[in-house]
Structure 1
């Protein structure tokens, strides 16, 4: 029997006091259908998180941080490209890549605080899997931040297109390690969001982000080889591959922000558990 105010999914009638096997007196919709829509049984069966609000905020913060870091890193190249076609002023197109890398590393350092919020959550979930992914995420993000800062200093010490391309590639493996850890966390926490769990389109795969990063690293590597061997066509192909990959990576990050917003909304306002709405009827006690 329903012991709390549960409003019919179809007409809004209060179903309190009705049997779960019955139907709405107003529209005839089965009570069970309203309960299934309201409760989300798949999420209700999952272990509780220690700090669901913090986990949701942390995931969204990580996604936004990754997007901002990527935008800052590509800004110098984007402005140079716009300046080449006359769409940017000469003063704006000379932002130093080393400075951009240092700014990006500072933003990435803030991401460690968001990751700490995420780490509070999975205490009641399988510890071996959850904590392995969290460690991987922390190691990847922390190493990425340090290597990116070192690369930024290297670009300031010895500027040049060859050094710039080489130093951009160096932090990428650590970013991939962090993304692989984030993938495990998303798989664990994302199940609590019906919108994320059932999305047929708009759900971003972390594997796709990793593939885009790897393709970008390969493209920059080809550009470096072309520059060293004085092969203009190879350098052009490498830059084209890198540009396309970075664009896909940015689009994927924007989708990831939306996905994390879904998860955050579900964690901040979780569906009620069936035990809070239904009690055994007197005849079955």
Structure 2
């Protein structure tokens, strides 16, 4: 009698129910299909109800379903991946072009011009990858994403435009003067990157509501405010380099600040890509509903 009273209400609700779909134990991976939901895993003794709780996502089920979830998941992941490559190419070109940086001979031998053009092309590719979501702009389930879509699409276009401008001014017209070089190789790209990051800040968390892994992540979830602050320090570091003679301590300090900030941006975009992969997995293969997972034995 005391044992019956001590049972969890969840266990009481699972009495007489069995696992209807393929489900692996969360601890040992044992196949639980066909087993009673209120019993334990025969392999490791883990309560099956705990595996059931981990496998469903009631919070995501309460949201309005997205009409084309696979399209949205692929789109947001491709956008971040393409922009990460674009940013990497732009940063590499900036470091090669910066006169005070002593790079390894292998990197010095890489021409900066094709890197800038490739960066612009990958920025346009990121915009193209966003088009499937832009075409769903009027769908009610993406109402909360409209601001993020507008900012991200605008940011990607002006980012690519800033890369083309940098190519024309710095390499075609060969205008290498300090302030002019800083305007086109750092200031304009930083401003346009800030627009992109602001768009990601609005867009990714909205879509992330549909991913349990994203919602529960703490240290591994990228905060876009960190990247926006890093952009400010990139500008500060570049300004110190321009304002100081090449071999002074102030120029070296500016170089260190700039490189550390650029590294933070690259790693941050890498974490953001990981976050969007979680979102894609949740959209492409959503967790089953409890009514589908269990049936009356």
Report if TM-score (shorter chain) is over 0.5.
yes
SS of the equivalent of 2:244 reads helix
CA 1:278–1:167 in structure 2 vs 1: closer, same or farther (change >3 Å)?
A: same
CA 1:204–1:151 in structure 2 vs 1: closer, same or farther (change >3 Å)?
A: same
Hey, what does 2:217 align to over in structure 1?
Answer: 199
Query: Aligned partners of 2:142 and 2:106: how far apart in 1?
Result: 54
Say yes or no: does 1:176 pair with 2:194: yes
Query: Aligned partners of 1:269 and 1:12: how far apart in 2?
Result: 19
What runs of 5+ residues in structure 2 fail to find an aligned partner? 1-16
Alignment RMSD, CA only? 3.3
Q: State the Cα deviation string for residues 152-172 of structure 1 (Å, max 9, x = none).
A: 211121332613222121132
Query: Aligned partners of 1:223 and 1:260: how far apart in 2?
Result: 35
CA shift, 1:5, in A, is 2.9
Hey, what does 2:60 align to over in structure 1?
Answer: 43
Query: Aligned partners of 2:218 and 2:288: how far apart in 1?
Result: 25
Query: Aligned partners of 1:84 and 1:134: how far apart in 2?
Result: 37
User: Which deviates more, 244-253 or 152-161?
Assistant: 152-161
| TM-score normalised to structure 1 length | 0.80
User: Which deviates more, 254-263 or 69-78?
Assistant: 69-78
Q: State the Cα deviation string for residues 210-261 of structure 1 (Å, max 9, x = none).
A: 221221122212323336xx99443333222111100111111222222222
Q: State the Cα deviation string for residues 17-53 of structure 1 (Å, max 9, x = none).
A: x6x7x44595886564333222122222222112221
CA shift, 1:134, in A, is 0.9
Hey, what does 1:13 align to over in structure 2?
Answer: 32
Say yes or no: does 1:118 pair with 2:136: no
User: Which deviates more, 26-35 or 71-80?
Assistant: 26-35
CA shift, 1:100, in A, is 2.9
Say yes or no: does 1:276 pair with 2:292: yes
On the 8 A contact 1:140/1:175 being kept in 2, the answer is yes
Hey, what does 1:141 align to over in structure 2?
Answer: 156
On the 8 A contact 2:162/2:184 being kept in 1, the answer is no
| TM-score normalised to structure 2 length | 0.78
SS of the equivalent of 1:13 reads coil
Query: Aligned partners of 1:86 and 1:130: how far apart in 2?
Result: 42
SS of the equivalent of 1:170 reads helix
Hey, what does 2:270 align to over in structure 1?
Answer: 254
User: Which deviates more, 230-239 or 31-40?
Assistant: 230-239
